[in-house]
Structure 1
Amino acid sequence: MPALTPTVAELYRTYGASALRRARSILGDEARAHDVVQDTFVSLLAHPEQFAGRSAFSTWLYSAVTHRCLNILRDQGNRARLLDRHAEAAAPSGGHGGAPEELAAVRALLVRLPAELAQIAVHYYIDGMTHHEIAEVLGCSRRRIGTLLESLPGHAQEIR
């Protein structure tokens, strides 16, 4: 594990605003977004080993915040409702889904997808990231991302 050379406070000052934007875009709730960012940095302070240094700190933070946000939405059972409310805000971001009804369908599925697949779907359909970019963020191969995205229709059929 690489030592975190800058202090957690310095990392927060540098990356806190972008982490907050990320949390706010997923949760659609300012207070909860602040809580997620604070919890992520407090967790890092308590367990610095969770940043293994396999990627840039910003990449790790982006992934950690996304994961925490998805867990919050799943745990509260409000994931589809909250994400649907923000469909119009997500559509112009360059996502691959394009049509609002497609984005709404993806968001409805997020509630029931396995956590990793839900995170990949958010990165692909909402953030508009490429397979390569998602693989970098999640620390896996581009091929794995493609395979998992190809499995989405099968998951949709099982859920319906």
Structure 2
Amino acid sequence: MAKNPGKIIEPDNELMKRVAKGDDEAFRMLFDRHYRLAYSVIYRHIGVQTQAEDLVQEAFLRVYKAAPKYEPTAKFSTWLYTVVTNLCLNYKRDKARDRLRLVSGNDDEGGNPLEQLAQAVEPDHDSLDAEERVRMVQEAIAELPENQRMALILSRYEDKSYEEVAEILDTTVAAVKSLTSRARETLREKLARFFDE
């Protein structure tokens, strides 16, 4: 069987070594290989397409800048998920700070008045179609604490093992199991009234 050099799949860690030496083609290959997964994680976390696209660009810019210091102690994809996760957490913190500045009369315990109003309105259970249910689930996930949300997204939607999630979030497997369990329980409680049979 003849080998076609164009068909050889170079390992990510080798591509990162090339990127560290200024090889833009290697960077493009990494970008093409991992763009969809990075975008998927960011979009599920942020929920806004244009912001997700911007954050993917920022994530890969960080990958490019970090290439000279990159140490392949873990799989590249695990390291990339760590970069993406940290970027999402920083983005959410910044957005929360911006919202606090914009909402006048927003006490520490008062919360966002618009969110309180939305929570007070009871939807008609019979009129919930599939799209509305998906939106409600997404909103409930977005309201989870950061660490629970990321553990759930990575394990449930990105099919990462508990071990991989623990490595990405820099915690223990037991902590990841606890985070995902609490996230699921919180979602069950928040969504039970909307999904009663």
Identity, in percent, stands at 21
Matches within 5 A, 1:113-132: 116=147, 119-120=150-151, 122-123=153-154, 131-132=162-163
AA in 2 matched with 1:65: V
Aligned equivalent of 2:3: none
1:108 is aligned to 2:143: yes
Q: Which residues of 2 match residues 6-155 of structure 1 at below 5 A?
A: 6-7=18-19, 8-48=27-67, 51-77=70-96, 88=134, 100=137, 107-110=142-145, 116=147, 119-120=150-151, 122-123=153-154, 131-146=162-177
Give yes or no for the alignment of 1:5 onto 2:17.
yes
Kept in 2, the 8 Å contact 1:44–1:50? The answer is no
TM-score of the pair, normalised by structure 1: 0.58
Q: Deviations over 1:68-115 (max 9, x none)?
A: 12221221116x97xxxx9726x8xxxxxxxx4xx86664342xx6xx
Larger Rg, first or second structure (1 or 2): 2
Q: CA deviation at 1:9?
A: 2.1
Contact 2:41–2:153 at 8 Å: present in 1 too? Answer: no
TM-score normalised to structure 2 length: 0.50
CA contact (8 A) 1:120 1:145 kept: yes
Distance 1:108 1:28, change over 3 A: closer
1:38 CA drift (Å): 0.9
Specify the code of the residue in structure 1 equivalent to 2:83: A
Output the amino acid matched with 1:17: R
The structural deviation recorded for 1:149 is: 6.2
SS of alignment partner, residue 47 of structure 1 = helix
2:93 and 2:160 map into 1 onto residues whose CA distance is 22
| Runs of at least 5 residues in structure 1 that lack an aligned partner in the other structure | 92-99, 153-160
User: Considering only aligned residues, what root-mean-square deviation do their CA atoms show, in Å?
Assistant: 3.8
Give the conservation status (yes or no) of the 8 Å contact 1:20–1:34.
yes
| Alignment gaps of 5+ in structure 2 | 1-12, 20-26, 100-111, 116-131, 184-197
Q: How many Å separate the matches in 2 of 1:46 and 1:150?
A: 36
